[in-house]
Each structure stands twice: as C-alpha cells, then as structure tokens.
Amino acid sequence: MVNLELYRVFYTVARCGSLTKAAEELYISQPAVSQAIKQLETQLGTPLFNRLHKGMELSKQGGELIYADVEKALRLLGGVEDKLSELKQSATGTLRIGASETIFQYILAEKIVAYHKLYPQVKIELISDVSPRIIEFLKTDRCDVGFLNLPIEPDEGIVLTDSVALLNDVFLAGEAFSSLRGRELSVWDLQEYPLLLLEPNTVARAAVDHFAESLGVRLHPAVEVGSWDFMKRLITDGMGIGCLPREYAQRRLRDGELFELNVRPAMPSRSVGLALPRNANMPFSLRAFVNLVKREH
C-alpha cells in the first residue's frame, strides 16, 4: 500500500533542499524526516537524494525521475478539501493580495470592497510593493495573487493569467503651460520643456524611455519622482510636463487642473496583469477573488 506521508516528506525535502527546513515545515523531528526518506528509498529500491554538505539534492536516477509526478499527485490530493469546501459556497481563511500602492488605489480598491461584501469571513492582507518584489513574494509563498505592471521579463516561478486593466501613458501639463493646449507636439518638442518622469528602474519609466528612444530621442527629466500622486501635484503647481497614465489622473483632468498634451505619435498602451504562483493550489477564497476581478474587467 502506498504511504502518502512518505511521499509528502520526500516532496518537502526536495522543495526545501534541507532536512532541517523540511522538519520545521512538517512540524516533525529531523531524525523522523531522515527515517522517512530512508524508508521510501528502501521501498523504491533506489537512492532519491544525494547527501551534500550544503543540503539535499535530488538524484538523477531516482528523485529527479519521480519529483514532478509526486508534486502533481500531492497537489491533486490537496485540492480535495477545497472542492468539499466549495460545496458549502463559502470562503474562509486569509487572502494575501500583492500590488503597488497605485494599483490598489486606482484599479483594485472597488473590487476588494465588493469581494469583502460577498465573503466577509475572509481576512484580507494587502501587500504593497513594486512589481519585482511582488513576483518574489509569489514565488516564496508570501503572496497568493499579484497584480503587476506589464511588460515584465518571463519568470518560470509565476503564471500571468490575464490583463485586468489597460493603462494609457500621456503627457500632462497644468495652467503654467496653457500655451501648449491644443497644439500638436512631437517627442522632440518636449525636450524644450522641463519634464517630470517617474524614477528609474520602474516599468513606467522604462516604457516612456523605450518609446522616446524608438523615435531617436533621449529624454532628460528635470525632476524624477517616486509616486504618481506627487507627480500630479508638481504638474499642477507648474513644475513641468509629466508623463503618467491617463487613468491615474481622471479627477484632475475632469476638474481642469491638468490637461492632456496632443503629442504625436501617441505612446502604446500597456497593462496590469494578474499573476499567480506556478502550480499554486487554488482554494475557493482565492478562486472567487480571481473570478470577481476577471468578471468586473
């Protein structure tokens, strides 16, 4: 008869790469972990690990051959309880959502409120950080679902499932530059004015730099800022012309504090993507939130 606990111990050791870490995760002693691995190796008739000074490494003749199948089987079994809980049509536990502060404010706020009304028993944790950090949180099981500014470099540790919002980067100005209202401008023309751009090493900054460079222009900002809200304030106060998503400035555009410059060609749209850990178990609470976000989009 197959002893599932032996395979669960094997999978945990392989994932942790250490008997000690596996023991901590499984809440059993290290000798018990070691004994379980030896018992499974005896049962299968082959070594499953290479014991190294730095930890445990899957053997090519044993562990590597069965790891993927064991992982798949355990995940399928792990979903049984979730399927049963779905029959009750209720969501419980904790939902950890990762995104930038801006994405939370302009894209997710209403969706999170709607979800809470549907499933008030679910505790919601909001993890605010930049997209590269959210990716790391997804890969290290510190976050259940993430919302990322796209494009990003492919990463085998996550799965991008959907685009949940389009962002249209535009150049905005305040009353101090009213003479530009209605004029058609090129990216070359923008070099004559003080520019406000998001700080380097962000997806938004990379997008505007790539756009300008594709037209043979290298933009040199007068001020680099760390947040969209601060940029809008500086634009309104006449510090310069800023580049930011139209979707993040709707109120100031509507109230007439800012206006959109007619820059040609326009920048291409980009998007916000929904990301999950690869091979993640999907409890009902997480699946319900993902479905709500997709439906509203």
27 φ/ψ angles, rounded to the nearest 5 degrees? 60, 40
CB 288 within 8 A of CB 103: no
0.75 exceeded by pTM: no
Q: What are phi and psi of 57, to 5 degrees?
A: -125, 135
**Which tokens go with 215?**
């037209």
The predicted model gives 31-49 an average pLDDT of 92
Copy the structure tokens of residue 202: 């962000």
- Pick 240 or 29 by higher pLDDT: 240
The conformational region for residue 180 under phi > 0 = left, psi -120 to 50 = alpha, else beta, is alpha
Residue 117 has pLDDT above 70, yes or no: yes
Both tokens of 139, joined, read 């890969």
Q: What is the mean pLDDT of residues 91-104?
A: 89
pLDDT of residue 197: 97
Coil vs helix vs strand at 9? helix
Is 188's pLDDT higher than 60?
Answer: yes
Q: In the structure encoding, which two tokens stand for residue 184, read together? A: 């058609």
